Amino acid sequence: MTTDFTFKINKKLGDETLARTGTIVTPHGKVQTPAFIVVGTQATVKAMTPEMVKAAHGQAVLANAYHLYLRPGHKLVEKAGGLGKFMHWDGPTFTDSGGFQVLSLGSGYKKVLPMQSGEVAPGETAAKPNERHAFVDDDGVTFKSHLDGSEHRFTPEHSMQVQHALGADIIFAFDELTSLMDSYEYQVESLERTHAWARRCLHEIEKLRKKDHARPYQALFGVIQGAQYEDLRRQAGQFMGALPFDGYGIGGAIEKDKLGEIVRWVNEELPQDKPKHLLGISEPDDIFAAIENGADTFDCVSPTRVARNGAFYTYEGRRNISTAAYREDFGPLLEGCECYACQNYTRAYIQHLYKAKELLSATLMSIHNEHFIIKLVDDIRASIEAGNFFELKETWLDRYYGSPKAPRSKKT
RNA sequence: GCAGGGUUACUCAAGCGGUCAACGAGGUCAGACUGUAAAUCUGAUGGCUUAGCCUUCGAAGGUUCGAAUCCUUCACCCUGCA
């Protein structure tokens, strides 16, 4: 079995930061980092074809093991020739482990993913047992399917088997994602569990790699948890850093104000020569903060979700297309933008599509938003190469968050 | 001409003596969305000097402590019978 997965650092910004550029090589192609990885949970980037994703300069796509296990089934995807072949995406692919659903269907059920600390009694979790769809124990997680209520069990071994069948180039260890609403005591307990699971994932993937040695190598990324606590994050970085993962995910409950710090804590403990993926983040200020502190890749549902719900990115902040001001605006979503939507359609037309609930508005807005965030990360990569990262950061963020009417991202 | 039914806010539509500035839906306006239970959710939607006040339920008059709700007349619409 050959390890056709490598990561090479191309350029470090300097000694004062952890920012760097690099190249991840996978069996399905390269990813130039920093890179924004487009999310396609159910083996589709919602409202977009893979060709559109490519045209928006998407380098890789991330799908979800939990969703594909439930439907259409990981075995079916395997029969189809794997995730990429199944969805007609020939570039690099990632899969998430189902760990996020431990939170979204469990502790954080109906609470989304709060980016601020809450107050919960010691030992408590955010959601009460009777209001959740996922139940964690030391061995794994029992889910009630959001599709039909049927019961399913995910263990670290099972997540590896599912992700192995899906066949993505980069897969994630099964972790427990906690909420900032959970108590410190619970975070400690959960972290121990995630670490025990990490070892089991490594063990299982080794078995699977040996069994199917002819298959392309799947890189396994361990996930760093520890919520908003420096001691836990550093401890997690040390523990996971000592294990033979191909890269690392930085996940879980991240307090927005501390995002840069948290990424730094973790990256100061982890081996420098491994790629770091920050899970589920794409707000511009967060991206700058994360890259400055050593994150190499990101993924996030936000660009497409927000697009479907009528918001689009501009250099002056995020705007809602439905607003009356755009009714007779015959300019593009963003002046000068090179995406397909901006090259061919007007705000007035897209507003009409959105208000008429026409599917095409989701497509056009998604194309624009993905293009915008991908380009932001691409521009940041170029600025690191050129040595003007901090100039870009200052002017870009000032314009985005400082412009009138721009909705400032929540600071609480 | 006779008999019956109807007219409520931008639209549709509840209400049938006080708890009604008036349910609900749509529309409109604004906002949120960070490893997707999300093409979803939240708020506002008569006016104002907004913990209160003022003006509204086809029009005018009346009954009543009190009327969108009851009575009278008028206007317009619908359905039968002539």
Non-local CB neighbours of A299 within 8 Å, separated by 6+ positions: A36, A37, A38, A39, A62, A94, A277, A279, A280, A282
Minimum CA–C1' distance nucleotide for A223:
B35
User: Measured between alpha carbons, how far is A375 from A278 in angstroms, rounded to an integer?
Assistant: 17
Neighbouring C-beta atoms of residue A270, cutoff 10 Å: 23
A366 CA to B10 C1' distance (Å): 32
The answer to whether the Cα torsion of A124, A127, A131, A133 is positive or negative is negative
Question: CA-CA distances (angstroms) from residue A248 to A46, A218, A296, A316?
Answer: 26, 14, 10, 33
A94 pairs with which residues across the strands?
A62, A170
Give the predicted TM-score (pTM) of the model: 0.93
Q: Give tens-digit pLDDT for A172-195.
A: 999 999 988 888 999 999 999 999
State, as a whole number of angstroms, the distance between the CA of A339 and the C1' of B41: 29
- Which of A24-33, A95-104, A214-223, A397-406 is predicted with the least confidence, judged by mean pLDDT? A397-406
CA of A354 to C1' of B77 (A): 37
Three-state secondary-structure class, residue A248: strand
Pairing of strands A276-278, A247-250: parallel
- The nucleotides of chain B lying under 7 Å from a protein CB are 27-41
Closest residue by Cα to residue A255 from A150, A397, A410: A410
C-alpha to C-alpha distance for A24 and A310, rounded to whole angstroms: 34
Q: How far is the CA of A308 from the C1' of B23 (A)?
A: 31
What ipTM was assigned to the predicted interfaces of this complex? 0.91
Q: Is A293 helix (H, G, I), strand (E, B) or coil?
A: coil
Q: Phi/psi at A240 (nearest 5 deg)?
A: -70, -35
Beta strands at A20-26 and A6-12: parallel, antiparallel or unpaired = antiparallel
Q: Which nucleotide is nearest to A359 (CA to C1')?
A: B39
Task: Assess contact for A136 and A156: CB atoms under 8 A.
Answer: no
pLDDT tens digit string along A123-155?
666 666 767 899 999 999 999 998 998 999 999
A147: nt with nearest C1' to CA: B37
Instruction: Report the nearest residue to nucleotide B34, CA vs C1'.
Output: A281
Helices and strands (DSSP H and E) totals, chain A = 15, 16
- Which active-site residues of A does the annotation give? 96, 299
* Ranges A10-19, A91-100, A366-375, A398-407: which has the least confidence: A398-407
Shortest CA to C1' contact from A174: nucleotide: B35
